[in-house]
Amino acid sequence: MNTKLIAPSLLAADFANLQRDIEMVNQSDADWFHIDIMDGVFVPNISYGMPVLEAITKHTKKTVDVHLMIVDPDKYISTFKKLGTNNLTVHYEACTHLHRTLQAIKSEGMKAGVALNPHTNVNLLEDIINDIDIVLIMSVNPGFGGQSFIENTYTKIKNLKELIVKKGAKTLIEVDGGVSADNAKTLIDAGADVLVAGSFVFKSTNQIQTISELKTLANS
């Protein structure tokens, strides 16, 4: 079985000590940096934008996984590449021409991801799953960290995994929102490949140990 990955979400980091928190992730068992970009239109919150991402990627030594919660993501695809993005994920609900958007992301040399809001059925991806590198299943409503996990996520992961297997796709399943040591193993057993965790990591007293605990649970 492939190694299951852990992606701490910097949204829960201490922004006044961002470099310190990035170095912590660099030194930990984490695999990816998960970076949430919100525009206040697609979601009811604004996080941070290009200048902050540029500062972040000067220090990151691992895969930079950018989750765009913005309308009209097509406008910024090449900008995100220039800022050091490795994986670029757009929301299904924000893309009228999803196929075109995914091709544009891949033509920049990035992995292409599609995020699904909690109400969006995974079977809507049936005709495009073979073009998607990563499906990001939102297990909370996007916009804020620290929310509680939506239990229907397990069913969505299982259905998506079935679709991926049926279509012979190589797509990774990433889960984002309310992930902790309590649900990590169940999410992996349902079919998840990558676990995003914000508050659970950054609000813990020993962050390195918390990441290592998640990594062990995910690969047990």
Q: Which of 145, 191, 195, 213 forms a contact with ligand DX5 (CB under 6 A)? A: 145
CB of 194 to ligand DX5, least distance (A): 12
Which of ligand DX5, Zn ion, none is residue 8 near (CB under 5 to 8 Å by kind)? Answer: none
Q: Which residue has the tokens 């813990």?
A: 204
Q: How many whole angstroms separate alpha carbon 120 and alpha carbon 124?
A: 8
Distance of CA 50 to CAs 34, 39, 83, 131, 187, Å?
Answer: 15, 12, 7, 27, 32
Q: Is 36 in the site for Zn ion (CB under 5 A)?
A: yes
- Angle 146-144-30 (CA atoms, 0-180°, nearest 5)? 65
Closer to Zn ion at the Cβ: 31 or 36? 36
Give yes or no for a contact between 87 and 63, defined as CB atoms under 8 angstroms apart: yes
Residue from 4, 67, 156, 161 that binds Zn ion (CB under 5 A)?
Answer: 67
In the region spanning residues 158 to 197, those forming contacts with Zn ion, defined by CB under 5 A, are 176
> What are the residues binding ligand DX5 (CB under 6 A)?
9, 11-12, 34, 36, 67, 140, 142-147, 176-179, 196-200
Which positions are annotated as active-site residues? 36, 176
